[in-house]
Structure 1
Amino acid sequence: MIRHDLTLNGQTIHLRDTGDPDAPALLMLHGFPEYGGAWGGLAALLSDRYRCLFPDQRGYGRSSAPAEVEAYRIKPLVEDMAALITWLGRPVTVIGHDWGAAVAYALAIARPDLVGRLVILNGVHPGPFQAALATGGAQAAASQYMHALRAEGAEAHFSADGHRRLLRLFAENMDMSWMTSDLRETYVAEWSRPGRLTGMLNWYRASPVVVPKPGEPVAIPPLPADRFRVTMPHLLIWGRGDTALLPEATEGLESYCADLTRVEVPGADHWIVHQRTEEVAHIIGSWLAGQTAG
């Protein structure tokens, strides 16, 4: 594996790069509270056929972590990854999870010239997600943790006692049997880099997503399908046991997508890429091969 420290969009982006440099490229975008290295297991299973690129996004790991909340609005986050693809010199398949899925969707919508295929693992398009939240129903209840992450002083709260509360949030209602003690230490070390926890939390603070109190619906106009359309072939892989992102957060996704394939994985949850790494690699590889054949 090669590591690069690239200056892109005015930021240092730390990039892991493995596989044949001339093979079709997969850009893998992590979510909260992970970092680029979270894709290592999946990349190892796909790098015989693809060039796998998995960066620390801004605010995470060894990449830049500007202090300002405004630096984490979706536009600069997308511009970081657009610059990375431009550095590579050809369109890629983008794979996103959690917050990485939000960037992947926004990149696919804003820069379809850079994204040949889109793969999402337990992540949400902003249209169906905000619609589900607005009802004040189950997804709103499941997303109340976002208020704690946005709060002033959240850094001190979640970093206390060796990041005990952040580890607990990471694991809440999820199968964490994959999390070894060595891996836990690695995550804590990444979170402990100066300024990184603020950067990670600022993704939530900068987001315009409205999270109402449970039972208190809010009137939010639906996002127009023509402006938020995903035009390229799109694969959604869903761990059915996810308690942070619920199935209702993807209802109506078809209205935003020209070519959507859904695959549900029973017995997996939000951390599906760790729990079912081989199965996820097989699903992605088979779908991409079918796209190429088609």
Structure 2
Amino acid sequence: MRTEIIDLNGHPFHIRRWGDPAKPPLLLLHGFPEYSGAWADLAPYLTDRFHCIAPDQRGYGQSWAPDDVALYRGSQLVGDMAALIDHIGGPLTVMGHDWGAAVAYGLAMFRPKLVSRLIIANGVHPAPFQRALAAGGAQAEASQYILSLRREGSERYFSANDFEKMKALFLARMNNAWMTPDKLAEYTAEWSRPGRLKTMIHWYRASPLQVAAPGAPITDLPEMPRERLMVRCPHLLIWGRGDTALLPEATEGLEDFAPDLTRVEFEAADHWICHQIPQKVAQAIKDWLPGA
């Protein structure tokens, strides 16, 4: 693994790389509350096929982290990674998890010439996810934590007592056997960078997603035009069925937006699938690639 700082649109971004730069690039986009090092479990299993490139996204790790919530709109986050792809040379394969999936979908939908293939691991397309959040059912109930994160000053609540509440949120109701004491110390060090937890949470504050109260559906959602939200490249969705944060209903109807979709599901995994069964995730990716 190698690290570097590169300039994207005039701002510094921290990048981790695994494998041979002569191989096809694979852009790996982490979610909340992770950072580029979160791919260290999976990337080594992919270096026989790819040069793996993982940035700390805006507001995370050692990358640019402006304090203003207005600088965390989806178009800006996608713009960062579009600049990185221009720097690397595209089009290329993009993989995203959790919030990284939102950016990966944004690239595939709005910058399609940059993305040759799209891989998502326990992440959601905005249209099916918003429908599920607005329905006021199980997904809305599972996503009430979003409202807690959006509250002003929530970073102080979640960072108190050595990030006690942050660790509880991160590891709640899922298999956390992969989270060794050393790994947890590494995560805590990343969250402890000055102002960093606040800017990580800004992704939630800047998002237009509406979360219904359980049993109280939102019925006046703004229109989400299907034609603008299409993923036209080959798309692989890898899903750990034990996920308690993102439920199966959050991907219902995805085929309407991704006609070239392949689904691969694993019973013995959850939201942290890339940590729990990295070798199986890597094999699923290789089996899906052309010429497998």
**Same fold, TM exceeding 0.5?**
yes
Count of matched residue pairs: 291
Q: How does 1:221-232 map to 2 (within 5 A)?
A: 221=222, 223-232=224-233
Partner of 2:237: 236
Q: Percent identity?
A: 59
* 1:197 equivalent in alignment to 2:192: no
Alpha-carbon separation, structure 2, partners of 1:222 and 1:184: 41
Alpha-carbon separation, structure 2, partners of 1:34 and 1:263: 23
Partner of 1:143: 143
Structure 2 unaligned spans of 5+ = none
Q: How does 1:128-207 map to 2 (within 5 A)?
A: 128-207=128-207
The answer on whether the counterparts of 2:108 and 2:118 sit within 8 Å (CA) in structure 1 is: yes
One-letter identity of the residue aligned with 1:293: G
Partner of 2:266: 265
SS in 1 for 2:243: coil
Q: For each residue in 1:167-197, what CA deviation from the matched residue of structure 2 results, as whole angstroms up to 9, or x when unmatched?
A: 0000110100000001110000000001111
Structure 1 unaligned spans of 5+ = none
One-letter identity of the residue aligned with 2:209: V
Deviation (angstroms), 1:123: 0.3
Partner of 2:105: 105
Partner of 2:62: 62
The answer on whether the counterparts of 1:102 and 1:125 sit within 8 Å (CA) in structure 2 is: yes
Deviation (angstroms), 1:221: 4.6
Change (3 A) 1:73 1:221: closer
Partner of 1:280: 281
One-letter identity of the residue aligned with 1:171: L
Which stretch of the first structure deviates more once superposed, 55-64 or 6-15?
6-15
Alpha-carbon separation, structure 2, partners of 1:221 and 1:235: 28
Deviation (angstroms), 1:222: 5.0
Deviation (angstroms), 1:286: 1.3
One-letter identity of the residue aligned with 1:270: H
Alpha-carbon separation, structure 1, partners of 2:269 and 2:19: 27
Alpha-carbon separation, structure 1, partners of 2:132 and 2:222: 12
One-letter identity of the residue aligned with 1:230: V
Partner of 2:213: 213
Alpha-carbon separation, structure 1, partners of 2:222 and 2:262: 27
Alpha-carbon separation, structure 2, partners of 1:286 and 1:25: 17
Partner of 1:293: 291
Partner of 1:30: 30
Partner of 2:76: 76
One-letter identity of the residue aligned with 1:261: T
Deviation (angstroms), 1:138: 0.6
SS in 2 for 1:65: coil
One-letter identity of the residue aligned with 1:119: I
SS in 2 for 1:186: helix
Alpha-carbon separation, structure 2, partners of 1:51 and 1:114: 17
Partner of 1:21: 21
Alpha-carbon separation, structure 2, partners of 1:168 and 1:11: 33
One-letter identity of the residue aligned with 1:3: T
One-letter identity of the residue aligned with 2:85: I
The answer on whether the counterparts of 1:3 and 1:15 sit within 8 Å (CA) in structure 2 is: yes
Change (3 A) 1:252 1:222: farther
The answer on whether the counterparts of 2:90 and 2:115 sit within 8 Å (CA) in structure 1 is: no
Kindly report the root-mean-square deviation, in angstroms, between the aligned alpha carbons of the 2 structures.
1.0
Deviation (angstroms), 1:24: 1.0
One-letter identity of the residue aligned with 2:268: G
Q: For each residue in 1:191-234, what CA deviation from the matched residue of structure 2 results, as whole angstroms up to 9, or x when unmatched?
A: 00011111100000000000011000011255221110000000
Alpha-carbon separation, structure 2, partners of 1:67 and 1:222: 30
Alpha-carbon separation, structure 2, partners of 1:143 and 1:107: 24
Deviation (angstroms), 1:293: 2.6
Deviation (angstroms), 1:11: 2.1
Which stretch of the first structure deviates more once superposed, 53-62 or 7-16?
7-16
Q: For each residue in 1:24-74, what CA deviation from the matched residue of structure 2 results, as whole angstroms up to 9, or x when unmatched?
A: 111000000000000012111111221000110011111011000011110
One-letter identity of the residue aligned with 2:48: D
SS in 2 for 1:95: strand
SS in 2 for 1:4: strand
